[in-house]
């Protein structure tokens, strides 16, 4: 027998098909909403795949709520369907940060990163595409987020946003990254930010990424 769960039975319009999950716009009891469904991975054993998707769905829903306690705005979760591996959440109206990046916005993004890291939360996909700017700045997509006290895990977040700035926003890279670090150090302190930047440099030196420069030295005037 095939069970049709509450969330899965709601009419949906596909807006994005990703490697990890599909994103739909739907109507949830009269409210415009977003629903995220983790897709079946046929290359995995069926029972293993079901359990992985179920756990990741529950984990992401929990993280969407937990980050609010850190002061980071995220979509409100309406419903979690562990059987369908689906999260129904608030639709956030606004513009994608990647399309309207400026120094002030980068400062806010830096503060959000600092707030997460101050609570030992690593986003895992900290890019300008995952920030929505409306009446408020909202951070989305916590599918890769996790808890960690390790400086290196936090440094990977910083390294990723830095790489996004240097590629998608290359014309304003230094200004944007400086403002990001200013916002970040407002939360994490100057000494804490230096330690993170040293880890970023270590990661680059090991060859995982193409190095830009020694972060702790290049941006020391910011922190």
Spans of all domains in the chain: 7-90, 95-218
Question: What does the pLDDT average to over 50-74?
Answer: 97
Prediction pTM value: 0.86
Would you call 154 exposed, middle or buried from its count of C-beta atoms within 10 A (0-12, 13-18, 19+)?
A: buried
The predicted-structure confidence for 30-53, as pLDDT tens digits, reads as follows 999 999 999 899 899 999 999 999
Q: How far apart are CA 129 and CA 20, in angstroms?
A: 16
pLDDT score, position 209: 46
Strand, coil or helix: 42:
coil
Question: What does the pLDDT average to over 63-77?
Answer: 98
Q: The tokens 């959440």 sit on which residue? A: 89
pLDDT higher at 49 or 207: 49
pLDDT score, position 80: 96
Q: The tokens 């639709």 sit on which residue? A: 91
H or E, element range at 37: strand 31-38
Half-sphere exposure of 34 (CA within 13 A, CB side): 18
Residues marked active site are found at 125
Architecture of the domain delimited by 7-90: 2-Layer Sandwich (3.30)
- From residue 196, give the alpha-carbon distance in Å to each of 11, 61, 149, 181, 214: 45, 28, 12, 11, 12
pLDDT score, position 1: 35
The predicted-structure confidence for 107-159, as pLDDT tens digits, reads as follows 999 999 999 999 999 999 999 999 999 999 999 999 999 999 999 999 999 99
pLDDT score, position 211: 44
4 pLDDT tier (thresholds 50, 70, 90): very low
Strand, coil or helix: 124:
coil
Phi, psi (5° rounding) for residue 47?
Answer: -70, -35
Among candidates 149, 163, 141, which has minimal Cα distance to 192? 149
The predicted-structure confidence for 156-201, as pLDDT tens digits, reads as follows 999 999 999 999 888 899 999 999 999 999 999 999 999 999 999 9
pLDDT score, position 103: 96
Contact 188, 118 (CB under 8 A): yes
Query: Helix crossing, 190-205 with 151-168: angle to 10°?
Result: 70
pLDDT score, position 13: 87
H or E, element range at 166: helix 151-168
213 pLDDT tier (thresholds 50, 70, 90): very low
Query: Where does 95-218 sit in CATH, by number?
Result: 1.10.510.10
9 pLDDT tier (thresholds 50, 70, 90): low
pLDDT higher at 3 or 222: 222
**DSSP codes, 81-99:** ETTTTEEEEEPPPSEEGGG
């Amino acid at each position: 027998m095939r069970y049709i769960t509450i969330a899965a039975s709601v009419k949906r319009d596909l807006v994005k098909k990703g490697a990890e999950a599909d994103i739909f716009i739907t109507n949830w009891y009269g409210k415009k909403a977003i629903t995220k469904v983790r897709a079946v991975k046929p290359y995995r054993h069926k029972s293993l795949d079901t359990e992985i998707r179920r756990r990741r769905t529950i984990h992401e829903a929990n993280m969407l709520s937990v980050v609010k306690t850190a002061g980071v705005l995220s979509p409100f979760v309406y419903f979690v369907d562990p059987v369908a591996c689906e999260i129904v959440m608030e639709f956030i109206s606004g513009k994608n940060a990647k399309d309207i990046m400026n120094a002030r916005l980068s400062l806010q993004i830096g503060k959000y990163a600092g707030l997460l890291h101050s609570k030992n939360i690593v986003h895992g996909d900290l890019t300008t595409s995952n920030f929505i700017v409306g009446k408020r700045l909202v951070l989305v997509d916590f599918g890769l987020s996790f808890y960690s006290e390790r400086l290196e895990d936090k440094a990977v977040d910083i390294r990723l946003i830095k790489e996004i700035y240097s590629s998608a926003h290359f014309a304003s890279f230094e200004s944007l990254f400086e403002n990001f670090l200013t916002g970040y150090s407002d939360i994490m302190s100057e000494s804490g930010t230096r330690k993170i930047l040293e880890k970023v440099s270590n990661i680059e030196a090991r060859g995982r990424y193409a190095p830009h420069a020694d972060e702790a030295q290049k941006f020391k005037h910011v922190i």
